[in-house]
Amino acid sequence: MTPLAQGFADLLNKVAAAGYAPWAVNAQQSIFGKSFLPFGLKEGTNFMEYDLVYLRGDLLFWGARNVDGRGFDTEQNRPTNLQIPLVRK
């Protein structure tokens, strides 16, 4: 995690100070395996998503986000549709 704005670094120093050096702009710190309240991470776990990626020729398709805003944090919330493809140049 690298805060790019002073206001965000100040916020992290209030809500995510335990187990971290003081947060500063452009100073990177690893959050892997640590508790990190802004992302809802608990110690010993890392962020995961059950996303969908499909390649066909020079086209790259990502899974479409759920219309109700649910993330892909469980297998049941995995996307079932594809977004408009990206084309390799």
| Residue 4 in this model has a pLDDT that exceeds 90 | yes
Whether 39 contacts 33, CB under 8 Å: no
In sequence order, the 6+-apart residues with CB closer than 8 A to the CB of 67 are none
- Confidence band for 45, pLDDT divided at 50, 70 and 90: confident
Can you give the pLDDT at residue 50? 83
Please give the order of strands across the beta sheet that includes 53-56.
53-56, 59-62, 86-87
State if pTM tops 0.85.
no
Closest of 77, 31, 29, 27 to residue 52, by C-alpha: 77
Whether 5 contacts 13, CB under 8 Å: no
Higher pLDDT pick, 25 / 53: 25
| Mean pLDDT value of segment 60-85 | 86
